[in-house]
Amino acid sequence: MFTGIVEELGEIVAKAELGDAARFTVRGPLVTSDAGHGDSIAVNGVCLTVVEVVDGSSFTADVMKETLDRSSLGALHVGSTVNLERAAALNSRLGGHLVQGHVDGTGAVISRSPSEHWEVVRISLPDSIARYVVEKGSITVDGISLTVSALGIDEQGDYFEVSLIPTTLALTTLGSAAVGTPVNLEVDVIAKYVERLQARG
């Protein structure tokens, strides 16, 4: 379980193709500082398991084909910058919202509208998860806990907007994501539980 508060910008330093999987080596000195085999680290919002710690500043993780196909991790390459977060500790504050690290779908950056102190980013929203997203609700974009500031539909389909403060712009990959960049989306799990309970009621 995570909170969606990015701890560090990391870098993909190696990627080994394994046929139906891939092994990534990710540099992130902060999140690696207390990591060990079997620990969970979110990489762009995807919960990955540490296989090995390398030189105290990097870790390796295996990613199966399903995850590569269903998230934006398949598009990562050596040199890609990624958002990193260690699993939440039960004795810490919950700064964002409950994030599982299980990607529900992918969207893409549609537009960016900067203003003096923040920037509004519009992101496409797949049909399959649009019903779970509400204005002023929480959504995770590439592992970042964000508040939905607007919802809409255009000729391409559903979209949502998030307003990014300077800290988010400076300390996460979303700050420099160009129009067209694919992003991992995870909706608030509570919405999915409510839908399931209603369907069985």
DSSP per-residue codes, 188-199: -HHHHHHHHHHH
Q: What is the CATH number of the domain that holds 155?
A: 2.40.30.20
Q: Is residue 94 part of a domain?
A: no
Q: How many domains does the chain have?
A: 2
Residue with token string 């000729």: 155
Q: How far is CA 54 from the centre of its chain?
A: 23
Q: Is residue 120 part of a domain?
A: yes
- On the question of pLDDT at 159 being above 90, the answer is yes
- On the question of pLDDT at 123 being above 90, the answer is yes
Residue 33 phi/psi, 5-degree rounding, is -55, -35
Q: Left (φ > 0), alpha (ψ -120 to 50) or beta: where does 142 sit?
A: left
In a 10 Å sphere around its CB, with 0-12 CB exposed, 13-18 middle and 19+ buried, how is residue 79 labelled?
Answer: exposed
Q: Is residue 16 part of a domain?
A: yes
- On the question of pLDDT at 138 being above 70, the answer is yes
Q: Are residues 57 and 142 in the same domain?
A: no
Q: Are residues 73 and 118 in the same domain?
A: no
Q: Is residue 92 part of a domain?
A: no
Residue 127 phi/psi, 5-degree rounding, is -50, -40
**pLDDT tens-digit readout, 57-112:** 999 999 999 999 999 999 999 999 999 999 998 777 777 788 899 999 999 999 99
Q: Are residues 69 and 114 in the same domain?
A: no
Residue ending a domain, choose from 59, 86, 113: 86
Q: Are residues 82 and 129 in the same domain?
A: no
The pTM of this model reads: 0.93
Q: Is residue 112 part of a domain?
A: yes
Q: Are residues 119 and 76 in the same domain?
A: no
Q: Are residues 39 and 116 in the same domain?
A: no
From the list 119, 97, 121, the residue with the least C-alpha distance to 186 is 97
Residue ending a domain, choose from 52, 86, 120: 86
Confidence band of 201 (pLDDT split at 50, 70, 90): low
In DSSP terms, which residues pair with 82 in a beta bridge? 10
Q: Which domain holds residue 192?
A: 105-200
Q: Are residues 110 and 171 in the same domain?
A: yes
Q: Is residue 34 part of a domain?
A: yes
